Amino acid sequence: MLPMRMRLIVGLGNPGAQYENTRHNVGFMVADKLAGEFGISVTKNKFEVRYGSGTIGDQAVMLAKPMAFMNRSGWPVQKLAAYFKINSKDVIVIHDDIDLAFGRFKIKEKGGHGGHKGLKSIIQAVGQDAFVRLRIGVGRSETGNSVSDHVLGPFDNKESKLLDAIINRARDAVVTILTEGTKVGMNQYNTKDLLLEVNH
């Protein structure tokens, strides 16, 4: 009997208390939500990654949070995947995206980095872009802040009221990808109709 295929779920963010509630850390937030709800202890450390393994549905998974800063997260992810013999096609990366309106999702099977330093680092380290990514929209600054100030800044009051719903929906999207496939996830979550109340 073949061993169960392991899926690696990587939530991107920056380590440290000062970054906990920033837009750049939504990947960490979704990883933490998955860990809590599926009883996965993300407490092991290897290659500058905090990780833990368990199951979601019938799928064996490893949840990972790179502890290198965002622009250096690629090599830790590559080393962890290589150590556990996880193919890049079995990796799901969860990250923020300024090119999507706040609360919008986009699931992609592969593609470029779109200027996202964490994705760029992973693509460079892995040597290919053939991994699934769940892009979570954080929008662009409405007050003229630079991109770095915006993504490293905290959610505003309006965003904070919707954050739990967004994280919960992102959790559901990851579960759908794992249990029903990426294409089904795309059909369900790549829509403009989600969380439109943020704009009102």
Q: Which residue has the tokens 């990780």?
A: 51
144: tokens are 């003229």
Q: Are 54 and 61 in contact (CB under 8 A)?
A: yes
CA distance 75 to 66: 9
3-class secondary-structure state, position 135: strand
* Residue from 24, 95, 116, 150 carrying the catalytic annotation: 24
193: tokens are 């109709």
Give the rounded distance of the alpha carbon of 95 from its chain centre: 4
Task: With both helix axes pointing from N to C terminus, report the angle between 182-189 and 157-180 in degrees, rounded to the nearest 10.
Answer: 150
118: tokens are 């964490």
Q: Give catalytic status of residue 95 as yes or no.
A: no
Q: Within a 10 A sphere around the Cβ of 37, how many other Cβ atoms? A: 12
Query: Would you name the residues annotated as active-site residues?
Result: 24
